[in-house]
Chains A and B, each alone.
Chain A
Amino acid sequence: MPEAAQRELTFLAAITAALKEEMARDAAVMVLGEDVAVGGPFGATRGLAEEFGTARVVNTPISEGAVMGVAVGAAVLGRRPVVEIMFIDFITLAMDQLVNQAAKLHYMSGGQLRVPLVVRTQCGATGSYAAQHSQCLEAWFLHVPGVKVVMPATPADARGLLKAAIRDDNPVLFIEQRGLYWSKGAVEEGEAGIVPLGRAAIRRGGEDVTVVALASMVSEALSAAGQLAEEGISAEVIDPRSLHPLDLETIAESVKKTHRLLIVHEAVAQGGVGAEVAMQAQLAAFNYLDAPVRRLGAPFTPVPYSPVLERGYVPNAAAIVATVQQLMRE
Chain B
Amino acid sequence: MAAKSQLDGGTAQALLETMWTIRLFEERVTELCGTNEIPGLTHVGIGQEAVAAGTCSVLRRDDYVYGSHRCHAPAIAKGADLGRLMAELAGRSGGYCAGKGGSMHIVAAEVGFLSGTGVVGGTLPLAVGSALVCRDHGRGQVVMVFFGDGAAQAGLFHESLNLASLWELPVIFVCENNGYAEFTPLSAHTKVERLASHATTYAIPCRTVDGNDVGAVRQAAAEAVETARGGGGPGFLECLTYRLRGHYVGDPAKYRELSEVGEWKKKDPLQRFLEVVARHALLTAEEVEAVERQARERVEAAAQTALASPPPTIDQTESHVYA
**A and B are partners in one complex rather than unrelated chains:** yes
Residues of A within 8 A of B (CB): 55, 58, 60-61, 63, 65-79, 81, 96-97, 100-101, 105-116, 145-146, 148, 169-170
Say yes or no: A97 contacts B122, CB within 8 Å: yes
A-B contact list, 12 entries, CB within 8 Å:
A63-B163, A65-B159, A66-B128, A69-B125, A73-B131, A77-B134, A96-B156, A107-B321, A108-B97, A110-B107, A111-B323, A115-B323
Say yes or no: A69 contacts B136, CB within 8 Å: no
Could you say which residues of chain B place their CB within 8 Å of the CB of A63?
159, 162-163
Among A70, A114, A116, point to the contact of B132 (Cβ < 8 A).
Answer: A70
Known: A66-B125, A73-B127. A61 touches B163 (CB 8 A): yes
Known: A65-B156, A100-B122, A109-B97. A114 touches B163 (CB 8 A): no
Additional pairs, 17, CB under 8 Å, beyond known A112-B96, A170-B323: A61-B159, A65-B159, A66-B162, A69-B126, A69-B128, A70-B128, A70-B129, A73-B128, A73-B132, A96-B119, A100-B117, A111-B323, A113-B109, A115-B323, A146-B322, A148-B322, A169-B323
**B84-125 CB contact bits vs A (8 Å, 1 = yes)?**
000000000001111111000101110000110111001111
- In the assembled complex, the CB of B137 is this many whole angstroms from the nearest CB of chain A, namely 9
Could you say which residues of chain A place their CB within 8 Å of the CB of B133?
73-74, 77-79
Q: Which residues of B272-323 are within 8 A (CB) of A? A: 319-323
Q: How many angstroms between the C-alpha atoms of A305 and B159 in the bound complex?
A: 31
Say yes or no: B109 contacts A112, CB within 8 Å: yes
Q: How many angstroms between the C-alpha atoms of A158 and B101 in the bound complex?
A: 36
Q: How many angstroms between the C-alpha atoms of A100 and B123 in the bound complex?
A: 10
Q: How many angstroms between the C-alpha atoms of A281 and B163 in the bound complex?
A: 46
Could you say which residues of chain B place their CB within 8 Å of the CB of A114?
323
Among B97, B129, B136, point to the contact of A112 (Cβ < 8 A).
Answer: B97
Say yes or no: B126 contacts A73, CB within 8 Å: yes
User: Is there a chain A Cβ closer than 8 Å to B130's Cβ?
Assistant: yes
Say yes or no: A77 contacts B115, CB within 8 Å: no
User: Is there a chain A Cβ closer than 8 Å to B261's Cβ?
Assistant: no
User: Is there a chain A Cβ closer than 8 Å to B178's Cβ?
Assistant: no
Could you say which residues of chain B place their CB within 8 Å of the CB of A71?
129
User: Is there a chain A Cβ closer than 8 Å to B155's Cβ?
Assistant: yes
Closest 7 CB pairs of A and B: A73-B129, A69-B125, A66-B159, A110-B98, A70-B129, A73-B126, A110-B97
Q: How many angstroms between the C-alpha atoms of A113 and B100 in the bound complex?
A: 13
Say yes or no: B125 contacts A61, CB within 8 Å: no
Q: How many angstroms between the C-alpha atoms of A73 and B323 in the bound complex?
A: 17
Say yes or no: A61 contacts B162, CB within 8 Å: yes
Q: How many angstroms between the C-alpha atoms of A77 and B66 in the bound complex?
A: 13
Could you say which residues of chain B place their CB within 8 Å of the CB of A70?
125-126, 128-129, 132, 163
Known: A55-B136, A101-B117, A146-B322. A108 touches B126 (CB 8 A): no
* CB closest chain-B residue, reference A70: B129
Could you say which residues of chain A place their CB within 8 Å of the CB of B132?
58, 70, 73-74
User: Is there a chain A Cβ closer than 8 Å to B57's Cβ?
Assistant: no
* CB closest chain-A residue, reference B116: A108
Q: How many angstroms between the C-alpha atoms of A75 and B129 in the bound complex?
A: 8
- In the assembled complex, the CB of B202 is this many whole angstroms from the nearest CB of chain A, namely 11
Known: A66-B124, A69-B128, A74-B129. A145 touches B159 (CB 8 A): no
- In the assembled complex, the CB of A227 is this many whole angstroms from the nearest CB of chain B, namely 40
User: Is there a chain A Cβ closer than 8 Å to B160's Cβ?
Assistant: yes
Among A60, A76, A100, A116, point to the contact of B114 (Cβ < 8 A).
Answer: A76
* CB closest chain-B residue, reference A60: B163
- In the assembled complex, the CB of A60 is this many whole angstroms from the nearest CB of chain B, namely 7
Could you say which residues of chain B place their CB within 8 Å of the CB of A79?
133
- In the assembled complex, the CB of A144 is this many whole angstroms from the nearest CB of chain B, namely 11
Q: How many angstroms between the C-alpha atoms of A200 and B96 in the bound complex?
A: 38
Could you say which residues of chain A place their CB within 8 Å of the CB of B160?
66, 69
Say yes or no: B125 contacts A97, CB within 8 Å: yes
* CB closest chain-B residue, reference A115: B323
Could you say which residues of chain B place their CB within 8 Å of the CB of A74?
129-130, 132-133
Say yes or no: A106 contacts B115, CB within 8 Å: no
Say yes or no: B95 contacts A110, CB within 8 Å: yes
- In the assembled complex, the CB of B63 is this many whole angstroms from the nearest CB of chain A, namely 12
* CB closest chain-B residue, reference A244: B322
Could you say which residues of chain A place their CB within 8 Å of the CB of B3?
none
- In the assembled complex, the CB of A322 is this many whole angstroms from the nearest CB of chain B, namely 39
Could you say which residues of chain B place their CB within 8 Å of the CB of A112?
96-97, 107-109
Could you say which residues of chain B place their CB within 8 Å of the CB of A96?
119, 122, 156
* CB closest chain-B residue, reference A112: B109
Known: A66-B128, A70-B128. A113 touches B122 (CB 8 A): no
User: Is there a chain A Cβ closer than 8 Å to B192's Cβ?
Assistant: no
Say yes or no: A109 contacts B323, CB within 8 Å: no
Q: How many angstroms between the C-alpha atoms of A112 and B160 in the bound complex?
A: 24
Say yes or no: B100 contacts A108, CB within 8 Å: yes
Q: How many angstroms between the C-alpha atoms of A76 and B323 in the bound complex?
A: 12
User: Is there a chain A Cβ closer than 8 Å to B166's Cβ?
Assistant: yes
